Amino acid sequence: MDKLLSLLPRFGFSASVFFRGEFCGQNQFKASEGVGHLHLVSKGPIIMEHKDCPPLQVLKPTLVFYPRAYDHRLVVPPESAASLLCANVRFNHASRNPIALALPDVMCVPLDEETGLSPTLSLLFIEASADDIGRRLIMDHLCDMLVVHLVRHARKMKLLRTGVIAGLSDAQIALVLAALHTEPARAWSVDDMAALAHMSRTTFINRFRDIVGVPPAEYLTGWRMELAKIQLREGKPVKEVALAAGYSYQPGFSKAFTSWYGMSPTEWLKNSSADCI
């Protein structure tokens, strides 16, 4: 896990508080490229509605974290009011950031279930109620600390994608994973990966499969397909998504996508949007 957190300087993030105080009614958060959201609910009730997963009902102080761009609606029931703090979270190179992509789509952490958050939350609540120079800057940095705590929480609760985490624990395999995450569109061959890991081809294939759980070529394809889904949700044309996923022509990408998910990119996007709020 230390390997994962050691990538923060390279694949880092920043948080920026944009709301604090009492809230009533509802607000829609549209998925926008590279922007996740952190909601610190100090008083509920609040309902988080989603387009492709069940809603979350928050009744007590809770952290709700969307590490990646994700459509959701924040709803306070009629005749109620909630108190919360909201921040944008921008992961560097979000569409290929191994930290952001290792996390689940949404995390819901009641404050009384994660004691390690208490010191940071205490400072954040103090700053949120203060009116002094540098308050916004301090709140932003405290939210950065909350995100790191949430990564730790995800590890403790085994919510992280284990293949990536295991690979990052091996120095040589970690070099390859970091390169694949940084340059997914590059025309990678297994020989290229093996050379980067300073291994023979056969040794590299066996070691990668043993640690990560799948062969390197299969991992790369899966990584590209995950990135493709993110970009399709963002409304990018299939041709542009194909190039970003390392395919020089669209039919080849569509064939690979269909083989991987059992439907074409257009069909997948239609199905994923069918339950929009």
What confidence tens digit (pLDDT) does each residue in 202-241 have?
999 999 988 887 889 988 998 888 888 888 888 889 999 9
| pLDDT tens-place string over residues 158-212 | 787 766 666 766 788 888 988 888 888 999 999 999 999 999 999 999 999 888 8
pTM of the model: 0.62
For residue 124, the surrounding DSSP H or E stretch is helix 118-129
Q: CATH for 2-156?
A: 2.60.120.10
C-alpha R_g of the chain:
20
What angle do the packed helices 265-272 and 250-261 form, to 10 degrees? 50
Q: Give the integer Cα–Cα distance in Å for 55 and 37.
A: 16
Cα 67 to Cα 247: distance, rounded to the nearest angstrom: 27
Same fold across 2-156 and 163-272: no
* pLDDT at 277 (0 to 100): 31
**Per-domain residue ranges of the chain:** 2-156, 163-272
Per residue in 48-57, pLDDT (tens digit) is 998 777 899 9
Nearest-CA neighbor of 63 among 111, 16, 31? 111
Fold of the domain built from segment(s) 163-272 = Arc Repressor Mutant, subunit A (1.10.10)
